[in-house]
Amino acid sequence: MVVGTVAVTGAAGRIGSAVRRALRSEADRLVLLDQVPLRPEADNEETLTVDLRDAEAVESALTGVDRVLHLGGVPDEAPLPELLDANVLGTHHVLEAARRQGISRVVLASSNRLTGFHPAGQLTGPEAPPRPDGLYGVSKVAVEALGRLYADKFGLSVICLRIGSYEQAPQEPRHLATWLSPRDALGFFRAALSAPPTTPFTTVYAVSANTRRFWTLPGARELDYTPVDDAEAYAGQIPGAQDPTDPEAPQGGAFAAPEFTLRHLRP
The C-alpha atoms of residue 185 and residue 207 are separated, in whole angstroms, by: 8
Give the number of other Cβ atoms within 10 Å of residue 55's Cβ.
Answer: 16
Catalytic residue among 136, 150, 166, 205: 136
Contact between residue 150 and residue 142 where contact means Cβ atoms under 8 Å apart: no
136 assigned to active site:
yes
- Give the catalytic positions in this structure: 136
